[in-house]
Structure 1
Amino acid sequence: MDLVHLVLRYLHLLGFAAVFGGWAVAWLSRKYGFNTAMLYGIAVQLATGIVLAGLASAEPDANHAKIGVKAVLALLLAVMIAVPVWKKREKVAAGHFWATGALIAVTAGVAVFWQ
């Protein structure tokens, strides 16, 4: 079971890398749009996050508040990324772009610093 947990966590981190990497590429190229790497990355994060949350809930000392906050943040990110990609928008508003980047950073912060 430990191997499954480690593989899921690894895939979850790869999903984060795709989301953050796609956002950083858009920022550095000054395009301020979202790409399919971000869409697939957030999909991987949602899928693996749900399974990881289920595995964590089986443990007696599970932090349900953290799991809930992470789920809400991931759903917000998924909507913020998926809608412009599905509508094939090449650019998004600057506020939308920067809010997405901030939400990516906050989500990573919750994962790392909330014990």
Structure 2
Amino acid sequence: MEALRLILLYLHLIGFALLLGGAVAQLVTGKIRMNPAMLWGAVIQLATGIGLSAPLRDGDEPSPVKLGVKLLLAVLIFVMVFFSRKRDEVNRGHFLAVVGLTLVNAAVAVFW
């Protein structure tokens, strides 16, 4: 089971890299939109996060409150990216909210 958890964690980190890397790429180009890397990153983050929340370890599960907060953040990010993915350009505040929520989600994982 530990191997499965590590594979899910690895894929979760790849999803984070796609989401944040895709956002940084859009900020650098100047035309702010949700690109496919961000969409796939959000999907991978949500799917692997749900898999990681399964009780695969012996007594070392994270708190249900932490899991709930992370799930809420992941769903918000996914919805914000998914429903604005076909726009030619998105509002800067909306885009920065996706980036901010992504960073907050990572902070919850690390510091909580």
TM-score using structure 2 length: 0.93
Aligned length, in residue pairs = 112
Q: Confirm or deny: 8 A CA contact 2:2 2:56 kept in the other structure.
A: no
User: 1:94 and 2:95 equivalent?
Assistant: no
Residues 92 and 58 of structure 1, relative CA distance in 2, 3 Å threshold:
farther
Q: Distance in 2 between matches of 1:58 and 1:75?
A: 27
Q: Confirm or deny: 8 A CA contact 1:46 1:74 kept in the other structure.
A: yes
- Kindly indicate which of the two structures has a greater share of residues assigned to helix: 1
* Alpha-carbon offset, residue 61 of structure 1: 4.8
TM-score using structure 1 length: 0.91
Partner deviation per Cα, 1:22-50 (whole Å, 9 max, x = no partner): 00000111111110111111111111111
Which stretches of structure 1, 4 residues or more, deviate above 6 A after TM superposition? none
- RMSD of aligned alpha carbons: 1.6
Q: Distance in 2 between matches of 1:48 and 1:99?
A: 22
Structure 1 residues 70-109: aligned runs within 5 Å: 70-85=70-85, 88-109=86-107
